[in-house]
């Protein structure tokens, strides 16, 4: 059986990647002998794994010695000089970006030293090195690719590791890594198009779109009600704009509304306080913040409550698994047109808002959906999931692709 070296930021520790990788891992197990290398060295293991999967924890936090060693080696490293040239060519050469490029490379080299010490990597090693994120995890081994002629190198890319935004204005080494990778796997067509427009031209064989997916054999049949029952699922961080939902609901005066939000985060207290203020004098609005939940509890909540619509107002996305989850229950979706969201949400199965909607526009969309017959959009939502976002199909195809390399 081929070896698969799976590089993660956290999984199976902490909570960050479990939602995605728990669904994908069983299909990888069918074809590979798996070793997971996680950069999480602090959290407890939250995902139980079979004994056949080996797990290593790599400390990639740079200490002073690592930085000094890197600075000594950097002048003799062609990859670093090429990246500095790329920055200059694209008019993004600055002290901040140069320093980031250096620290990024040094982190990759520290991870490589760990891999070299703890993995049986030789010229004869056959298999796939697969990074779940397009960051210095995969750079660590790509910079030494010539030493491993029988290994193939693959990365997925999602959102934070792809888009250049005001928060992350620079994505280092993308063009150089692309030249060395065997496959770059995008979770949306929009992500692939952005990558090709921003970093490197489209390569038919190398640049693949492989949707994520969810499994479900339970629907959420409509239960007649005068109320509009809304569910939203997200971390409470600025990009998710949860307070925008409360602002929109405050504008609805003639419809009884029940809103449940799943998720918590740094803005949790602030969001709850703002919702309490905005909705204090709204007797028609009932709302509950249910807190953070594992995926199994999110699905259980969607099973137990007769929701009418799933709402997502993020300012940035890849292609949300939470929307796939909602549609697998037959829930129509109202969502912002960001990232790859338009590849799953349309006028048949929900309402696609602009990328930066006002509270009035969100309220109008909610009221509009409430006035429509429920069955048509619910059926369309379920059909969308069945056609493009079933985990068993998507992850098996992905695993077969890796095996074929």
Tens digit of pLDDT for each residue in 10-42? 999 987 788 889 999 999 999 999 999 999 999
* Residue 220 clears pLDDT 90, i.e. is over it: no
Whole-angstrom distance, CA of residue 211 vs CA of residue 349: 18
- List the domain boundaries for the chain: 2-213+391-404, 228-388
Residues ≥6 apart with Cβ < 8 Å to 260: 229, 230, 231, 232, 287, 288, 290, 301, 305, 307
* Residue 51 pLDDT: 94
* Residue 6 clears pLDDT 80, i.e. is over it: yes
Percent of the chain whose predicted confidence (pLDDT) is above 70: 100
DSSP string computed for 189-237: HHHHHHHHHHTS---TTTEEE----B-----------SSEEEEEE--SS
Residues ≥6 apart with Cβ < 8 Å to 393: 213
Same fold, 2-213+391-404 and 228-388: yes
* Residue 254 pLDDT: 87
For all residues of the chain together, what is the average pLDDT?
Answer: 94
Order of strands across the sheet with 183-186? 54-57, 32-38, 2-8, 127-131, 151-157, 183-186, 207-209
Give the class (CATH, top level) of 2-213+391-404.
alpha beta
Q: Let me know: does 307 contact 322? Beta carbons within 8 Å.
A: no
* Residue 149 pLDDT: 95
* Residue 381 clears pLDDT 90, i.e. is over it: yes
Q: 347-357 pLDDT, tens per residue?
A: 999 999 999 99
Q: How many CB atoms lie within 10 A of CB 348?
A: 13
Residue 194: both structure tokens together: 């952005």
* Residue 401 pLDDT: 97
Q: Let me know: does 137 contact 103? Beta carbons within 8 Å.
A: no
pTM greater than 0.85 (yes/no) = yes
Q: 109-158 pLDDT, tens per residue?
A: 999 999 999 998 899 999 999 999 999 999 999 999 999 999 999 999 99
Buried b (16+ CB within 10 A) or exposed e, 48-75: ebeeebebebbebebeeebeebbeeebe
Q: What's the CATH number for 228-388?
A: 3.40.50.2000
* Residue 80 pLDDT: 95
* Residue 178 pLDDT: 97
DSSP string computed for 316-361: --SS-HHHHHHHHTT--EEEE--TTGGGT--TTTEEEE-SS--HHH
Provide the sign of the torsion angle of the four alpha carbons 385, 388, 393, 398, taken in this order. Answer: negative
Q: How many CB atoms lie within 10 A of CB 207?
A: 20
Residue 125 backbone zone (phi > 0: left; psi -120 to 50: alpha; other: beta):
beta
DSSP string computed for 312-324: E--S--SS-HHHH
């Amino acid at each position: 059986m081929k070896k698969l070296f799976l590089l993660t930021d956290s999984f199976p520790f902490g909570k960050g990647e479990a939602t995605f990788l728990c669904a994908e891992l069983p299909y990888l197990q069918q074809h590979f002998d798996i070793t997971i290398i996680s950069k999480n060295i602090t959290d407890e293991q939250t995902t139980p794994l079979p004994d056949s999967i080996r797990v290593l924890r790599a400390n990639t936090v740079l200490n002073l010695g690592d930085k000094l060693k890197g600075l000594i080696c950097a002048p003799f490293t062609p990859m670093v000089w090429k990246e500095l040239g790329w920055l200059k060519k694209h008019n993004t050469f600055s002290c901040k970006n140069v320093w980031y490029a250096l620290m990024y490379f040094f982190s990759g080299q520290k991870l490589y030293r760990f891999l070299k010490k703890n993995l049986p990597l030789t010229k004869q090693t056959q298999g796939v090195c697969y990074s779940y994120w397009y960051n210095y995890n995969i750079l660590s081994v790509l910079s030494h690719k010539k030493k491993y002629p029988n290994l193939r190198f693959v990365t997925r890319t999602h959102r934070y590791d792809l888009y250049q935004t005001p928060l992350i204005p620079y994505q280092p080494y993308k063009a150089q890594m692309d030249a060395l990778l065997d496959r770059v796997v995008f979770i949306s067509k929009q992500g692939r198009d952005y990558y090709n427009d921003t970093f490197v031209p489209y390569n038919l064989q190398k640049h693949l779109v492989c949707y994520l997916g969810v499994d479900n054999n339970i629907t959420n049949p409509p239960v007649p009600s005068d109320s509009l029952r809304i569910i939203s699922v997200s971390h409470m961080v600025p990009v998710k704009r949860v307070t925008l939902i409360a602002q929109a609901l405050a504008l609805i005066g003639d419809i009884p509304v029940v809103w449940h939000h799943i998720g918590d985060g740094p803005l949790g207290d602030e969001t709850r306080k703002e919702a309490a203020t905005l909705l204090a004098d709204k007797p028609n609005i009932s709302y509950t913040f249910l807190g953070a939940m594992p995926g199994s509890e999110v699905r259980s909540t969607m099973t137990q409550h007769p929701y009418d619509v799933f709402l997502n107002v993020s300012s940035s996305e890849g292609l949300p698994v939470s929307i796939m989850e909602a549609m697998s229950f037959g829930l129509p979706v109202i969502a912002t047109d960001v990232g790859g969201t338009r590849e799953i949400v349309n006028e048949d199965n929900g309402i696609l808002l602009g990328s930066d909607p006002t509270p009035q526009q969100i309220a109008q969309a909610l009221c509009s959906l409430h006035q429509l017959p429920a069955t048509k959009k619910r059926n369309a939502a379920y059909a969308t999931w069945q056609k493009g976002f079933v985990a068993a199909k998507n992850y098996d195809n992905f695993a077969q692709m890796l095996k074929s390399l």
